[in-house]
Structure 1
């Protein structure tokens, strides 16, 4: 059953206070149906490394992972008394810990429905407005904490494979034609020109 009509808002489908949109359609039955699609048990790692070289939108700062506590620091600086032999650490236990300087929209991530605003009033999903529900410590409506665990059928489209290349150039824009062509018969086995 189609529940959304172009040009209409959101609340008429799932209610004026809804924060998760189409994820409301997940049920125990849909999750079970998705799990029953698994036939081979293959795992595909879609994660990307999070570091200063990770993919990011130009308007975001890069991530940085810095060693904060290391065996050299723990044992050499002796600023944590419980790590010293005198403080009871006779076995010389130490560890590696990191300090993270992060930005969202870097590497593997998911956007909440409050991510993008529109219009002069800066409204986002379900008509929530940034001046009412935004703030210095994160959104208070439709942020990522409202996203439930997602267990659903997924479709991975290998556009690079469809184009017969190992990887798409960084400037390549994936088009509707690329996605539609991937699902149809290939008309050529030649490697296409990807220089845009």
Structure 2
């Protein structure tokens, strides 16, 4: 059996945006989202209708997470029983009672933004920062600069599940930039430079149907690496890739056996922001009904110092 190539070899000639926005940049291709892009997105608001894209944390039906990560757990600290006889509820003047709780969660265990320093190879993260700056916390290219900046602009939904005639795309199904363009054409829209791309597969519906069996031979569907796809992302100046899967791309590339190639080719090398585990079902249904697949997208992950990712509840306005 032929071993998978090293990413250093596979991406040796891959495009890079390192240094494009200066040696200290930490938000990468989000720099493409200028005031002009924000205004262009805002101009698409016609109905005044909002769609939130975060999946529920602590869903009674289960939380889909990357294998090896555990779903968030919520712990009650105080509730009404805390003031029963023998309880430990604090006393406040006037008799106030309250509920309080906390969660224990992977920061990337729900709908979230990756930091640009989340993945790397060859000892370098985004913009050429030394990978040893990740030790203890991300000193460079953490999620904090993305959270501080915020994300807003014109976005397009590419409903790949409907395009391929499937309720949910199965494991291992791949598609590329030419399929994205064909899907856009079928929907009556054009992907423009600097668009935020939102890709629907509805693959996580299989998680809710299958339970733990979903993880057997885990390999999500999604975009698959090619030099042409990476060049297209660079030429189109795509700032943000948003999907409803756990990892935004086919997990193991069927052409070379490498895991998460696009995390490196797009995020590490081009600085494309990745947003994962979104719930696109209400939005997709509305788009199918009104035939409007372009809209205003706005998001800001939680500001967490030195973190490799952070939860987010993106909002689409139509």
Where on the TM-score scale, by shorter chain, does this alignment land: which range? 0.7 to 0.9
The number of residues matched between the two structures is 172
Q: 1:67 Cα shift?
A: 1.6
More moved, 141-150 vs 34-43: 34-43
Look up the SS of the partner of 1:29 in the other structure.
helix
Q: 1:134 Cα shift?
A: 1.6
Q: 1:105 to 1:81 in 2, by over 3 A?
A: closer
More moved, 73-82 vs 30-39: 73-82
Look up the SS of the partner of 2:55 in the other structure.
coil
Report 1:35-50 matches (<5 A).
Answer: 35-50=42-57
Distance in 2, matches of 1:157 and 1:54, equals 24
Look up the SS of the partner of 1:66 in the other structure.
strand
Look up the SS of the partner of 1:156 in the other structure.
strand
- Answer yes or no: is the 8 Å Cα contact 2:117–2:126 preserved in 1: yes
- Answer yes or no: is the 8 Å Cα contact 1:75–1:94 preserved in 2: no
Q: 1:57 to 1:178 in 2, by over 3 A?
A: farther
Q: 1:44 to 1:174 in 2, by over 3 A?
A: farther
Q: Structure 1: give runs of 5+ residues left out of the alignment.
A: 187-193
Q: 1:54 to 1:18 in 2, by over 3 A?
A: same
- Answer yes or no: is the 8 Å Cα contact 2:63–2:110 preserved in 1: yes
Q: 1:178 to 1:7 in 2, by over 3 A?
A: closer
Cα deviation, 1:133-190, whole Å, max 9, x if unaligned, reads 2232x21111111011111111111222223333334x2534226534422449xxxx
Report 1:30-109 matches (<5 A).
Answer: 30-51=37-58, 53-83=62-92, 88-90=93-95, 93-109=96-112
Look up the SS of the partner of 1:65 in the other structure.
strand
Q: 1:178 to 1:98 in 2, by over 3 A?
A: farther
Look up the SS of the partner of 2:154 in the other structure.
coil
Look up the SS of the partner of 1:49 in the other structure.
coil
More moved, 175-184 vs 51-60: 175-184
Decide which structure has the larger Cα Rg and report it: 1
Q: 1:109 Cα shift?
A: 0.4
Distance in 2, matches of 1:168 and 1:41, equals 31
| Higher RCO (CA < 8 A, seq sep 6+) | 2
- TM-score, normalised with respect to structure 2: 0.48
Q: 1:28 to 1:178 in 2, by over 3 A?
A: closer
- TM-score, normalised with respect to structure 1: 0.74
Report 1:131-170 matches (<5 A).
Answer: 131=132, 133-136=133-136, 138-147=137-146, 148-169=149-170
Look up the SS of the partner of 1:54 in the other structure.
coil
Q: 1:71 to 1:178 in 2, by over 3 A?
A: farther
Q: 1:9 to 1:38 in 2, by over 3 A?
A: closer
Look up the SS of the partner of 2:75 in the other structure.
strand
More strand by share: 2
